[in-house]
Amino acid sequence: MDVGTNSTRLLVAEVAGGRVHELQRRTIVTRLGEGVDREGLLSDAAMERVFEACAQFREAIDAAGVERVVALLTSAVRDAANGAEFQHQLEQRFAFEARTIPGEREAHLTYVGATAARPHEHPTMVLDIGGGSTEVVVGHGQEIDFFVSTQLGSVRHTERHLHTDPPTPDELAACRAAARAELERAVPAEVRRRVQEGIAVAGTPTSFAAVELGLDPYDSDRVEGHRLTLAACERILAELAALPVAERRQVTGLHPDRAPTIVAGGAILAEAMRLFELGEIEVSERDILYGAAPEAARNA
């Protein structure tokens, strides 16, 4: 399980020889990080949303006869003063092995998951846009050359910059400028220059792919490996940013619960592609869950 800032996700899989065979995958948008950037605490309402999702997942886990359950807690829990108590409650209520992992560990597992089934001959950037943090990992094959976890996030930057519904052009410009400045600060120019390919994981890029493909219902097989061009990314971002949240919820391919934060996520995606001079990026469903599963199986 990945208990993230914006969503709580489950992967039930069989692992053999390091290969992950997906049996079931589920995502519930729980907005755990709502208000954390401002208050420094996980709210009772946000934690309860996660507990409700975990109760549903626990039923699926038990039905599948799973041997081991590992829950990875990321940015929102790292940043919150009551994160340790939340982790303890997950362990006590649901018998999960709950771990709050540092950003560097999150980046490593994401890279492993994204690249395991797709060998790349050229230096590749893996971009994981979360609700509270964005990880950037650069590697060649299975070797990681650079990684960083930044304080960029779709929830965090919505709360910081996008106060109008729909956001004003100035608000969107400020969000984009903040994303670019943070990426420029976090990733040295020499690292950016050697990147030739990109893979984007998590809800923002998969949503953009689904919107471009007009998917209703969502089809993970069609999203996996989709090549999203910078031009398409900019077009979809502009279209979504022009809509109020209520209308955004109706956009084909976009899960309604992602509508409030998708614009900030899209701004981060577009600025990352521009900064790394990527005309297109490969979208993948294979993320931190696929990196964590083989490790969990080895230690079962």
Tens of pLDDT, residue by residue over 113-151, are 998 877 777 899 999 999 989 999 999 877 889 999 999
Sorted by sequence, the CB contacts under 8 Å of residue 287 that are 6+ apart come out as: 2, 110, 113, 114, 128, 201, 202
Q: Over the stretch 60-109, which tens digit does the pLDDT of each residue have?
A: 999 999 999 999 999 999 999 999 999 999 999 999 999 999 988 998 89
* CA pair distance 241, 236, nearest whole angstrom: 8
Give the strand order in the sheet containing 227-229.
Answer: 143-150, 134-140, 124-129, 197-201, 280-284, 227-229
* CA pair distance 104, 212, nearest whole angstrom: 32
pTM above 0.85, yes or no: yes
Q: What is the pLDDT of residue 74?
A: 93
* CA pair distance 281, 283, nearest whole angstrom: 6
Q: What is the pLDDT of residue 300?
A: 61
pLDDT per residue rounded down to tens, the chain (300 residues): 999 999 999 999 999 887 899 999 999 999 999 999 999 999 999 999 999 999 999 999 999 999 999 999 999 999 999 999 999 999 999 999 999 999 889 988 999 899 887 777 789 999 999 998 999 999 987 788 999 999 999 999 999 999 999 999 999 999 999 999 999 999 999 999 999 999 999 999 999 999 999 999 999 899 999 999 999 999 999 999 999 999 999 999 999 999 999 999 999 999 999 999 999 999 999 999 999 998 888 876
| DSSP for residue 254 | S
SS (H, E, C) 119-143: CCCCCEEEEEECCCCEEEEEEECCE
* CA pair distance 239, 242, nearest whole angstrom: 5
CB of 290 within 8 A of CB of 114?
yes
Set out the domains of the chain in order of their start, with CATH numbers.
Answer: 2-103+288-298 (3.30.420.40), 115-284 (3.30.420.150)
CB atoms within 10 A of CB 43: 17
**Burial class of 81 by CB neighbour count within 10 A (0 to 12, 13 to 18, 19+):** exposed
Q: What is the pLDDT of residue 296?
A: 85
